[in-house]
Amino acid sequence: MRRLMNPHCKDMDVIIDGLCFTSLMMDPESSVPAEPQMLPPPPGSYANREQLIEHVGDFAISQGYVVIIKKSRKDKAVVLGCDRGGVHRNKLMGKNDGGVWYIIVKNGTHNHEPMKDIAEHPAARRFSEDEVLRIKEMTEAGLKPRQILKKLRQSNPELLSTPKHLYNVKTRLRQGNLTVRKYKSFKPQKVSIGSAQVPGNPASTEPSWRLRFTRIPNFIGGQFVESQSTATVDIINPATQKVVSVLSLTTIGELKAAVCAAKWAFPSWRDTPVTSRKRIVLKLRELIQRDMDKLAATITSEGGKTLKDAYTDVHYSLEALDCACGMATPQMGRFVSNVSNELDIYSIREPLGVCAGICLANFPAIIALWMFPVAVLCGNTFILKSSMKDPGVSMILAELALEAGLPNGVLNIVHGTDDVVSAICDDDDVKAVTVAASKAYGLLVHSRASTKGKRVQSYTEGRNHMIVMPDANTDATLNALVPVAFKSEGERCFGLSTVIFVGDSKPWGCKLVEQAKVLNVNAGTEPDADIGPVMSKQVSGYQQGNFIGPTIVCDVTADMEASGYIYWHFGGLSLITMYIEVKSLEEAISIINECRHCNGASIYMASGASAQFQTLIEASQVGINVPVSVPMPFISSGDPEAPFAGQTGVHFFTKLKTVRQQWNDFLKDDEEAVPMSDSPTPEQMFAYQEGLDYEQRIEGV
């Protein structure tokens, strides 16, 4: 190669099968290269343009220089060079040959010393690809630039990016041109220049599905697959009414492909040791904790929750995984020896096969993690049907499951309406269905799936009550009542909808109104927000439409259909708390027991009437001086009609197999059975006596 003597750092052309690539080259006549050597990237072939650029950028950083794109002709050619390489000259341009990209170093040299600290370079102020994705998510969630930078610096204290860089990224986001192909960060890492990377295949990180797809894809067989359906649903930010993303509805053919992928993965996953499955789920828990900010921001942007409530959702998800990892004990079988004449019997638990879960929108993280981790730990494969209102969390969980090492096909995620749910219920390869939904929808799924012989567990709606006795502590009671009654935007199954005051309710009502008035209704991303927007469709005549303040309805009786007491409401109407005044505790308990949607009941008092309350109340969730809260995953959800609720849910994803075995009558002809005798042999007596003498000598007898 010809060495160019130019006062500027010389560009080197590298043809990457359709790319003219500018790189940097060491002087071939130099016998003792300086450290680091500032070598050009080694020749090699790559599957695509992005992989090549990423590899060259990482290699250049390890050599003490930074590479930038000098010229690009879309997918035909690209010229890369040292950022201190001067004016670009015409170079040999390669052509795309069969879609493979390769590097050919033409010529070039450096006239500058390698950087001692690559972090001092301006490129270090650029955001990484992951940071750009987080900026996109937090922007969609409504966070302000200062809040975004603060959160980024919490995750990366060495972040050098300025507000100017953030505004540049936000501008590209608004223009819609921020993709992997158009934006590539060469963010240097703070590493020693001497610790050069070994040339070879780079450890590339697959970009997020959000940057590779214009619509939310399916997740089938370990890959994100764009749906071929033309039917879409806009995912709306309830705080701004802006479209966060577009959801493609899964076709029946794509659902069948997901079922086939799960069925194909089942045999090998079933035979995977329990300890190996547990390690993967524990790794998933670690990754969820790492990406807690990303999950919380997605929950807020799609569901409208305050960030505080969104983080609570993720924390409960971690608890669900902790409980799931204790699945080894419930999976244990039983063994009874000599149950009959020389007959042993034992039972073992085996996975069912392909299982499915249908999610509700109110807790997108915890509901999904109530379902598939337990199923896959038992050895099943799983198909998750996400909620159409907030599917983004499920997609993040899919990415994290892949990163944790979950094999392809073990977890699959689809989206869709009633036709997809019906197809799941009707598919003969699906052995069990878990559904979290309204009472009517849960019964519909249960009826259809069980008709096909499937197992079904249903977590459905319920109404929660609180009884306040006259002697209850005022401050403690109100401090507990207000959050469970009005917060969580009416999306909490264990939220409080009815308060029953025993005795005069007027003093309580006035104080309750005072505390409700100070609650701040605002976008969930605002730090001072107590109540965010609801997910319900906007109300005509109101700006933005999804905000509703706390509402208290008094003078309600248990037979008032118009008040909404008879029917359980979810979403906006759950922010309306009704209170009833009764004369005695017995009357209050009677009202709760007659409620057909009763889920939980709590009582606040200073006397010792708790024994009477917990005995007479029929609700399955009871609180005494504490509100009814979300139970642990394996404690009953509170719905007495749920077919597989509570502890029985532990065995829901396994089937019992009983084995009987007898050996003596089937011994080979040359084998003899060991004689069974009531009296010990002389050898046994001698061994026993020797052991007894030894024990006596030890004890000094």
510 backbone φψ class: left, alpha, beta (φ>0; ψ -120 to 50) = alpha
Scanning 291-358, the segments in alpha helix (DSSP H) are: 292-303, 307-324
Phi-psi region of 624 (alpha: psi -120 to 50; beta: other; left: phi over 0): beta
CB 417 within 8 A of CB 358: no
What is the rounded CA–CA span in Å between residue 399 and residue 63?
A: 32
Dihedral of the CA atoms 375, 379, 385, 390 (nearest 10)?
60
Dihedral over Cα of 385, 387, 390, 393: its sign: negative
Tell me how far apart the terminal alpha carbons of the chain are, to the nearest angstrom. Answer: 96
Q: What angle (nearest 5°) sits at the alpha carbon of residue 386, between those of residues 638 and 295?
A: 90
Q: Which of 20, 325, 355, 493 is catalytic?
A: 493
The type of residue at 227 is S
Residue found by looking up tokens 């750092």 in the block: 9
Q: In degrees rounded to 5, what are phi and psi of residue 84?
A: -110, 25
Burial letters for 254-287: b for 16+ Cβ neighbours within 10 Å, e otherwise? bbebbbbbbbebbeebbeeeeeebbebbebbbeb
CB-based contact 430:380 (threshold 8 Å): no
What is the maximal distance between C-alpha atoms in the chain? 104
| Contact indicator for 77, 93 with CB cutoff of 8 Å | yes
Residues 6+ apart with CB under 8 A from 144: 525
34/16 Cα distance (integer angstroms): 28
CA dist 96 and 99 (Å) reads 6
Report the C-alpha gap between 569 and 243 in whole angstroms: 26
325 as an active site residue: the answer is no
Q: Retrieve residue 3's tokens.
A: 């060495």
The answer to whether the Cα torsion of 555, 561, 564, 568 is positive or negative is positive
Give the Å distances, CA to CA, from 540 to 209, 535, 544, 547.
Answer: 35, 15, 9, 12
Name the pairing type of β-strands 223-225 and 218-220: antiparallel
Which one, of 312, 281, 314, lies nearest residue 295 by Cα? 314
For residue 291 the two structure tokens come to 């990406």
- Which of 456, 465, 412, 453 shows the shortest CA–CA distance to 437? 456
Q: How many CA atoms lie within 13 A of 569 on its CB side?
A: 20
Q: Where in the sequence numbering do the catalytic residues fall?
A: 493
